[in-house]
Structure 1
Amino acid sequence: MPDTDLAAILGANLSSGNGIPVSIMDALRVPAVSNAIQLISEAVASLDVHVKYVEGGTEIEVTDHPVLNLLRGEANDWTTGFELIRQIMVDALVADQGGMAWVNRVNGRPVELISYRQGTLFFETDLDTGERKYRLGNRPVAARDVIHLMPPLPRSPLSLARDAIGIAVALDRHAARLFTRGAKPSGTLKFPKGMGETAVQKIIASWRQTHEAEDSGGRTVILYDGAEFEAITFNSTDAQFLENRKFQIEEIARAFNIPAPMIGALERATWSNSEQKGREFLSYCLEPWLRGLEGAFNRALFSDDERGRYVVRFDRDDLTRADLATRATVINSLIASRTLNPNEGRAWLGLPPREGGDEFLNPNITTPANTSAEGISNSDTPEDTDNAAE
């Protein structure tokens, strides 16, 4: 059973369990499949990428590391960092070999990242140890010079969902025929006995001209010589056709491990559970891919001296941001509990730090610094206090 990459090189299509050949392009023509792949790949590529220095268990952000220019700016002369990360994710979702990119080094430092078409950069796996040996064309390349994001299972999600996608393709094709004359006629013309063949042909020609032409909608039906029209209604199997199509959307969502409402299955989506579905999308779908991609970057982008000291991190906050009122309440609570200082809270809002904002103080109980004990003494009465205020 060849994998998807070899089949694509040879121009072959792999058949699903129902006998329908499903290539990668056939699968991508199914809206639920293309939507799922686009949703995951663009969500990952849209996150901010950071390089951090590890010191004593604490990660300190680094803003001048050359790897940042490759991941945030231009990976090479024709590809941006966003496009590179997105392509690696797309390849990992559709190809059994995963998503790969070659790291071009000059004097030991990475200067560009190149994502080749499938079949150009490939690998062979040792069956005993699982060690991967890479080749770029006919030239062997070091494993540390390859960014490689493997799918979680022996095959890609698209390959494993080929049967479900094949059913969706069959339903799409049937839907295309259903609304044409090839699938089921809208009705039948019944003629009385004894009508000649010539008269029947004339009635059929007149019917097609007045009711089957492109601009024939809404015309009045005129029948001759006792002819009758009987409409054909949908039976129970036809009525379940839409239910079958909806079920395939849910099946494809399960294959890619994303909540079904995120690719259009909104029957059970409500305002109350939409936020929960977003958290599930981050926790159960994106987080494993992000961990794998961070590990692939850490292994391939840093030198031997930098390994373990520098790490690549994706900022997940963009996917967990709530509305402004909720965020303000949470930030205020964290500052009041002295978990964050005001400047850290301002950083969450994208605001610059302010003077004195690095102290961990509770603004609800902390006395301002310019308050003195000379104003009101304990012996002052409320009336004296009011007079002093005046």
Structure 2
Amino acid sequence: MMALFGLVNTTSGGIVISLADALRVPAVANAIQLISEAVASLDVTVKRIEGDSEIDVPDHPVLTLLRDEANSFTTGFELIRQIVRDALMDDRGGMAWVNRVNGEPREIIRYRRSVLQYDIDLDTGERFYKIRNKPVAAGDVIHLLPPHERSPLSMAWNAIGVAVALDRHAGNLFARGARPSGALIIQRGMGEDAIKAVRASWREAHEGEDQGRTAFLYDGMTFEPFTFNSTDAQFLENRKFQIQEIGRAFNIPAPMLGDLERATWSNSEQKGREFLSYTLEPWLRGLEGALRRALFTDEERRNHVIRFDRDDLTRADLSTRATVINSLIASRTINPNEGRHWIGLPPREGGDEFANPNISEAKPDQQAGSPDDEDEHATE
């Protein structure tokens, strides 16, 4: 019954794990937190499409819900993070309901998945939403769907199951001595009471906090230590490999999950760009479309879009940014006020002119030459 309601899952190896067990795997928790918080941390804007240009609309009422408070008890950051988090963990994706008053969105509420549900038309794929079994308009629901019609967490259940098994084995190995270090070989003829006494004395002397004492063997007993096989010797390698497997399921580079074994300065920067292009960009595109569909009216959807500012993820250090901005201004690609806006400074008077500040143009009187200059040349 718990499996039917999605509370537990059984992997192909027969390991039964719950959602709470999966989130206790550091790589899984890190992957979900990394993607959801990276998306929620980006600045969101509303733009109006005019020809080939997108013009900012800073006073659009939708921004209040996405930037400040989605409702009286949820901030915009928390709402976006939760929607993306649900899409990463639930096959049904991340959903939230838009409460409209006189046709205008006034609040966005994220219900539990048992409250906000939907049915699918198997022929067309159309989704029919309901809250507590009462139908609601599809245009009032923000719905971020996962890829493959399954969440990355579901796609990674087998890899997560192996990681959980390895983690449990490590805990038992160090906490309770799950693998015996050796065996006592007892000669024939020893009675059951004597064997129990030997076992009790051995455990008292060599297990728990008293382990490591000098062993005394009697009545012809011998101690045979056990050796680790190849799987035991590569236990750490197996755990590292599971980090890579989980990273593949969430499409996250392994260095961003803490596997820095093969990370260098050059490839770390490249992995960061790949994280933006291949990991975050699909989620950002999907979320932009879901927000646009549910928050705009039919008329606004014709020429309005919602955009997340990717510049925060690609922002370089101040020295590099200053060099790039100065180069763009010198080539007349941007004006000084646009460059000041990139670094959070207010515009200044005369900053809208496209001019190269590195070239000082001569004044007309200096180009023609003054009479005093002509007299000096004549004297020479």
* Same fold flag (TM > 0.5): yes
1:214-233 pair list within 5 angstroms: 214=209, 216=210, 220-223=213-216, 225=218, 230-233=224-227
Matched, 1:139 2:137: no
More displaced 10-residue stretch of structure 1: 115-124 or 82-91: 115-124
Which residue of structure 2 aligns with residue 34 of structure 1?
29
Q: 2:70 aligned to 70, 75, 79, which one?
A: 75
TM-score, scaled to structure 1: 0.87
C-alpha distance in 1, partners of 2:144/2:190? Answer: 72
Question: What is the CA deviation profile of residues 230-272 of structure 1, one whole-angstrom value per residue up to 9, with x for unaligned ones?
Answer: 5433222211222111111101101111111111111111111
Matched, 1:373 2:371: no
Which residue of structure 1 aligns with residue 48 of structure 2?
53
C-alpha distance in 2, partners of 1:101/1:378? Answer: 79
Q: 1:111 aligned to 106, 109, 119, which one?
A: 106
SS in 2 for 1:364: coil
Which residue of structure 2 aligns with residue 325 of structure 1?
319
C-alpha distance in 2, partners of 1:38/1:166? Answer: 20
C-alpha distance in 1, partners of 2:189/2:123? Answer: 82
1:228-247 pair list within 5 angstroms: 230-247=224-241
Conserved 8 A contact 1:174-1:183: yes
Percent identical: 68
Letter in 2 for 1:223: F
- In the superposition, relative to structure 1, how do residues 178 and 76 fare at CA in structure 2: closer, same or farther (>3 Å)? same
Letter in 2 for 1:350: G
Which residue of structure 2 aligns with residue 17 of structure 1?
12
C-alpha distance in 1, partners of 2:215/2:18? Answer: 48
More displaced 10-residue stretch of structure 1: 191-200 or 345-354: 191-200
Question: What is the CA deviation profile of residues 196-243 of structure 1, one whole-angstrom value per residue up to 9, with x for unaligned ones?
Answer: 8777655544443343233x36x6425254866554332222112221
Conserved 8 A contact 1:3-1:96: no
What is the Cα deviation at residue 41 of structure 1? Answer: 0.3
Letter in 2 for 1:162: W
Which residue of structure 1 aligns with residue 5 of structure 2?
7
Matched, 1:283 2:281: no
More displaced 10-residue stretch of structure 1: 371-380 or 173-182: 371-380
Question: What is the CA deviation profile of residues 53-74 of structure 1, one whole-angstrom value per residue up to 9, with x for unaligned ones?
Answer: 2222221112221111110111
- In the superposition, relative to structure 1, how do residues 206 and 55 fare at CA in structure 2: closer, same or farther (>3 Å)? same
C-alpha distance in 1, partners of 2:244/2:29? Answer: 14
C-alpha distance in 2, partners of 1:377/1:172? Answer: 87
More displaced 10-residue stretch of structure 1: 137-146 or 202-211: 202-211
Q: Which runs of 5+ in 2 are unaligned?
A: none
Q: Which runs of 5+ in 1 are unaligned?
A: 386-390
Q: 2:257 aligned to 260, 263, 281, which one?
A: 263
- In the superposition, relative to structure 1, how do residues 190 and 40 fare at CA in structure 2: closer, same or farther (>3 Å)? same
What is the Cα deviation at residue 26 of structure 1? Answer: 2.2
C-alpha distance in 1, partners of 2:126/2:181? Answer: 61
Letter in 2 for 1:304: D
SS in 2 for 1:339: coil
What is the Cα deviation at residue 194 of structure 1? Answer: 7.6
- In the superposition, relative to structure 1, how do residues 66 and 233 fare at CA in structure 2: closer, same or farther (>3 Å)? same
Which residue of structure 2 aligns with residue 388 of structure 1?
none
C-alpha distance in 1, partners of 2:192/2:370? Answer: 117
SS in 2 for 1:75: strand
C-alpha distance in 2, partners of 1:344/1:133? Answer: 45
Matched, 1:211 2:206: yes
C-alpha distance in 1, partners of 2:186/2:12? Answer: 45
Q: Which has the higher helix share?
A: 2
C-alpha distance in 1, partners of 2:298/2:159? Answer: 45
Q: 2:288 aligned to 283, 294, 319, which one?
A: 294
Which residue of structure 1 aligns with residue 61 of structure 2?
66
Question: What is the CA deviation profile of residues 281-314 of structure 1, one whole-angstrom value per residue up to 9, with x for unaligned ones?
Answer: 0000000100010011111101223222222110
Letter in 2 for 1:16: T
C-alpha distance in 1, partners of 2:259/2:38? Answer: 19
Which residue of structure 2 aligns with residue 312 of structure 1?
306
TM-score, scaled to structure 2: 0.90
Letter in 2 for 1:86: R
